[in-house]
Structure 1
Amino acid sequence: MTETPAEGGPTSQPTEQGWQAVVEDMAATAEAYRDRGWTTLELHPGDSVLVDSEFRTGLDVVLPGDEYEDLEALAADASFTDVDVFQAAADTTTYLLVVEKDPDSETAVFVPAYYDTASSAEKLDTIRESGELRLFCRRLNDDYVEFVHENVAPFLPEQPNA
């Protein structure tokens, strides 16, 4: 079945192999944190996209309700002041594993994500120019937990001729 993507929507989806690799890396990395005594939360977004609208600019991931509630509860008690970002690219898809960390409480949230690099040039430029990337972890009713990052480079592909 072939369908035309919605106007303005992502033009490519992650490959099953690429996405599975990110999820497997997340599980292994989270296990290493748990072995060191950290509290961890692994998220499994149903969708992930770069957004630039009047409502949100940044990386938007949609979570299942139960995972969102777990994240909301953790975020209420933690101060996520550190982040690790692991990035890989395949064709026009950029894959990320974002590890939001609260070193004081030894709590880590693992957010796998992806976005279509080819169709996101303007959004990537907006993020670079603002010097800030916001990661919105939300559920379908638009409730969200937001992580703000002033170092955008780990989230974005290298610019050609940069």
Structure 2
Amino acid sequence: MDEHGTRVGDGWEQVIDDMEATADAYREEGYDVVALHPGDVTTADDGSGFDVVVPGEEFERVQAQVGAAALDQTEVFRAANDGVVYVLVVVRDDDVGVAVCCPLYYAPERIGEVREYAAETGQVLTYLRSLSSEEAVAVAFDSPELFFPE
């Protein structure tokens, strides 16, 4: 159980394994890939999406990728297990060959504000940050329905 009361268990290990396999597949296609390994995933304070804490080196690589790429293509893979929803988000820029893989998890009963924000704005935001920095990289997703089970 994480500090927010969400049981992450075996499903989290599976999504990390899936992320690594997805990242390897993109690397084989010639992409420069950043595969993120979150230490914590929470909902953003303003309810606009997810706040994801990643290791400092991964955060620095994402900052560099965002500055050099449009990251305008998105894939979202989702699965539910034992009351937890696991999401693997891949954002990429095919023109410059970069991709970022970000796994997330949440308990459906804890994301009412995120669903409301998504319904009002048509997007979900993900804020990536490191423990040592107040600075964040925000990624907007224009297909919020991909994040939520029916």
TM over 0.5: yes
Q: Which residue of 2 aligns with 1:68?
A: 59
Name the % identity.
Answer: 36
Aligned twin of 2:137: 145
CA displacement, residues 74-93 of structure 1 (integer Å, 9 cap, x when unaligned): 11111110100000111221
The counterpart of 1:88, out of the listed 76, 79, 82, is 79
Residue of structure 2 equivalent to 1:39:
32
Give 2:149's match in structure 1, choosing from 128, 132, 157: 157
Q: Give the equivalent residue in structure 2 for 1:25.
A: 18
For 1:123 and 1:83, the matched residues in 2 are separated by: 19
Task: State the distance in 1 between where 2:17 and 2:82 align.
Answer: 20
Tell me, in whole angstroms, the C-alpha distance in 2 between the residues paired with 1:123 and 1:49.
Answer: 11
- Distance in 1 (alpha carbons) for counterparts of 2:4 and 2:122: 23
Q: Does the residue aligned with 1:122 lie in a helix, a strand or coil?
A: helix
Q: Where do 5+ consecutive residues of structure 2 fail to align? A: none
TM-score by length of 2: 0.90
Aligned-residue CA RMSD (Å):
1.9
Count of residues paired in the alignment: 149
After TM superposition, give the deviation of residue 52 of structure 1 in Å: 4.3
1:11 to 5, 8, 11: 5
Deviation at 1:136, TM superposition (A): 0.8
- Aligned residues of 2:117 and 2:124 also touching (Cα < 8 A): no
2:38 aligns to what SS in structure 1?
coil
Q: Is the 8 A contact 2:48 2:113 kept in 1?
A: no
**Normalising by structure 1, what TM-score?**
0.84
Distance between the aligned counterparts of 1:147 and 1:128, measured in 2? 17
Matching of residues 92-131 of structure 1 within 5 Å: 92-131=83-122
Given that 1:86 and 1:96 are in contact with CA atoms closer than 8 Å, whether structure 2 keeps it comes out as yes
Matched residues in 1 for 2:147 and 2:128: separation? 15
Larger Rg, first or second structure (1 or 2): 1
Q: CA deviation at 1:127?
A: 2.1
Task: Give the match's secondary structure for 2:143.
Answer: coil
